[in-house]
Structure 1
Amino acid sequence: MGGTVGVLEGGTLLHSLIERHHDRLGPCTLKRLSEANAALSWLRSAGPEADVLLIGPSVENAVRIAERAVAMGRGTELLICAGPESHAAIKAEAERSYLLGDAATCLSIDEPDAVVRALADALGRARKRRRYEGLVSAAEAASAQAAPVLASPRAGNVEGLWKYAPIGVLVADVIEGRVLDRNQKAAELLGVEAGAPLDEGFAERDRARLAALLAEAPSGSPAPRAFVVERGGVALHIEVLIAAGHTEQSRLLLLQDVTARRLVEDELRRKLALIEEQQRRIEELSTPIIQVWEGVLCLPVIGLVDAERAARMTEELLAAVARARAAFVVVDLTGVPEVDASTVDGIVGMVRASALLGASCLLSGISARVARAIVELGLDLQGIQRFSSLHAALGSVLKNGR
């Protein structure tokens, strides 16, 4: 329970310092490490037994080594001892590091008391953590012994869910860019095995975007992102949800095949575009502005006219009047079965707007029903010439204006 300290340095400076102050540190085991690879190998093999990694002033790229140690997710305490001439620069570099945060403490070797005090505090935290982990392990063992019937089926169900889930589940190492584990569905979708490059199954154009998303530190429940996976010459559309893994450098990817849904959405978009095109053509046909003679336009109105249609007809008629420099406009209502206040208002507004452009406007084809509705609604058609038929309206144009 004393603790284990890995000392990474080229000489014996830190080792001698620890030996001199052994009484302040309490019982602990020292592991001499001559190079960075040896230190990282020790962290992998020692696991939770690696309590503190002490990096000496003669070690190059000390912050980079500390970052790699943090990325391993072992929970090891990190102390960086720098020389007096480089302490400020190394401390600033450590503070800028995205991975380190406050996981490493930067000390100056010319302040040995501060180094010993920091090492003693780190060992103290490690001893407390060991005691806590021992209590938790004992509680878990007691719980498993008290309820063996419940523990086994639960574990089996979790394994079954992992293996046979209808969505792909994949665990990735973002530092090394490889697959750590995957379930059966993920293997079917991506065609990758454990240890394979993570982006192997993704389309070339999506690999850089995937790497950028994996490099982010996910939090909460990020929205799924769409990717293309090439399987057997067929492009599959996969939604990928990326979440934090069990270590700093791992990510959990949930994969769902949405190819069928994408095909349905594409077909729906195609049909909507077709409907919009048909609607546009219907609208064009519903407002057929005819140039009868030079300077004479005729607008036969067919069907019911609501406020929206009246506004559209007015806009198109005014554009046609300006374009043709029309002197006469005949609005024929023969095809209007019935009217209400909004219909007549729209037609009268259209006629008056045309008059503002200098065109004489005539109404034709007013049926008895339409005339009665105009009277009952009390609408004023004063100043607007009215004719019972289109023939009569055009005859008046020939006689008086053309």
Structure 2
Amino acid sequence: MPVRWRSPLLILASIACGWIGWSGEVLLLPFAMFFPLLWSKASSRSIASLVAAGYFLAASRGLPQGVANFYSADLWPGIVLWLIASASFVMVHAVFWTNPRGGDASGKRGTDAARALRYLLAMALTGLPPLGITGWAHPLTVAGVLFPGWRWSGLSATAILLVFMTGRRWQIAAAVLAGLYVWSATNWMPPKLAPGWIAVDLKQGADLGRNSSLQYHHELIAGVRETINKRPDAHVAVIPESALGFWTPTVARLWQEGLRGLEVTVIAGAAVIDARGYDNVMVAISAYAAKVLYHERMPVPGSMWQPWLQWTGQGGGARADFFGNPVVEVDGVRIAPLICYEQIIVWPVLQSMLHSPDVIVAIANGWWTEDTSIVAIQKASSVAWARLFDLPIVMAFNT
């Protein structure tokens, strides 16, 4: 291959890697595993930066359109946010890149060891806060496809494979990856169902949660009751993020009354507001009690989480609870809760898994993702984590 074509082909391959791997199809996630190989083959730090940018921007390609939908604006604000979001990923991989060329055999071994350590650090930094706040498209998510049911051992094995992809003997890692992929694709099974748990998906678009009228809540309660009545074994129903709008004592009493006569707990998305801002939450409601169950650890940066408002004393925006409440309990069942954005970054789910939950509950309000693959990516990522830790998952989305 002519040298002048090497760098452009690496960049194009990284774009394809991000585009295909993060298309929203869970069994295509392993394409993301080739990113460290492409990064390690870059001939310079600037090319390594472009390889990282190509991968990240391709994986998160739905963001500009999603932002435009959310703000009813043109694409430019979304493109700016898209580029800003990629900055930490690109910066980390630029800083930790090392020259792939070596001198004698011992020099090459040293280079391989250095590159392996550097990529391991890059994985950690892009997966954990603060840089992991925008840690989308993390290759570790692939673990659930390659090693379903292996839990932490599968995560470690995936990290080792990713590190080996940066070395001189990457062909061995690629062959192992191919074998694991064929085995997994051939024997793939969806996550287990949680007995007695049901998801109530909604198609209310941007109207969800913005209508605080009694009629809205009565209609939503009627829809939930109808779904529950079709499943006599149901004892927990999950409805999407933001479904209840602002959480108030009036809304709580209304829903408790609406659920009277049913031995069911409803888990729903809502917002708790005060003078300083608001919390994006899950609430648990039955005919007998109603409470806030979970405060979102990582709201969407920029559109929801706006820390500069607090820093400047203005107030407003969603609060990030970061490492708070990784596991909550409903009817004796330990839940790993994931709201919207938390489904596409690494650390919230791993933090929850440290506490041995019984089920993953993932909710989102995805109306603004129309004409993008964002919701599909959220679902694929959540399913991959559920398969890795061999847990049932309940997902409720509004579109």
Q: TM-score, normalised to structure 2's length? A: 0.27
Larger relative strand fraction: 1
Higher relative contact order (CA 8 A, sep 6+): 2
The structure with the larger Rg is 1
Q: TM-score, normalised to structure 1's length? A: 0.27
